[in-house]
Structure formats: structure tokens, C-alpha cells
Copies of this chain bind each other. A is one copy, B any other.
Amino acid sequence: MKRKRSYSRVTQHALSLLGKLIRVGRTERGMTAQELADRAGISRTTLYSIERGSTGPEVGVVFEVAAIVGVRLFQCDERTLAMHNAHLDEKLTLLPQSVRSSGKEVDDDF
């Protein structure tokens, strides 16, 4: 079966933006594409498609590259990241483990 997908504009814009942020970050740090690719453990070809904002590359790789050039996805450091993680774990235990018909609104900051 063919795997044809569509991506919303938000997604495309977000990816395009991320790619540009990575490119700017890389250039500002004086790294060549090859250097950054080596550091992230990927090929220059893949980095190229990431900087182009392609939808295909693996999340892990994209996040890694972003981290290397100082682009923080959640605008916070690792400590804060871990903290939010822990907090969400709590929250997840409070939510119903299985969605039946219609669960509703809980609200939380962040």
C-alpha cells in the first residue's frame, strides 16, 4: 500500500524554520556542513535535507543536530527538560489510562 501523506502548513513552517535556525546556528559557529554532519553522526546529504526543512529525516537526528548548534526546541536547558518530564509523568498517572468515549479538559501551564 502506498504511503502518501500530507503535512499541514504549521508543520511545514515549523520544519522550515527549524532548518533555518540550524543553518544560522551552524554558520554563526563557523562550522562547515561536513563538520556538523560528522558531529551528529550523519551524512552531509542528510544534514542538507534537514536544513532544507524536509519532513523525512528522523526526529532524533534533527533534534541532535539542533542541540549541537544550540537550537533549543523547548527553550530551556536539560535540567528544566528533565523537570518537565518528571512533572508530566505525575500528570500521566492521574489521567485515565484508557480513553473510552469523551474525556475532557484539564489545564496546565507550560
Residues of A within 8 A of B (CB): 5-11, 13-18, 20-21, 23-24, 26-35, 41-42, 54-64, 67-68, 70, 72-75, 77-78, 81-82, 84-85, 88-89, 91-92, 95-96, 99-106, 108-110
Q: Are A103 and B13 in contact (CB under 8 A)?
A: no
Tell me the number of copies of this protein: 2
Contact in complex: B41, A6 (CB < 8 Å): yes
Contact A99 B11 (CB under 8 A): no
Which B residues are in CB contact (< 8 Å) with A62? 59
Q: Please determine whether A21 and B88 come into contact, CB atoms closer than 8 angstroms.
A: yes
Q: Are the CB atoms of B95 and A14 closer together than 8 Å?
A: no
User: Are B96's CB and A41's CB within 8 A?
Assistant: no
Inter-subunit contact B67/A28 (CB<8 Å): no
Are B11 and A64 touching (Cβ within 8 A)?
Answer: yes
Contacts of A74 in B (CB 8 A): 14, 17
Can you list 14 A-B contacts (CB < 8 A)?
A: A5-B61, A8-B67, A10-B63, A10-B67, A10-B81, A13-B78, A17-B81, A17-B84, A24-B91, A27-B95, A27-B103, A32-B99, A57-B58, A59-B62
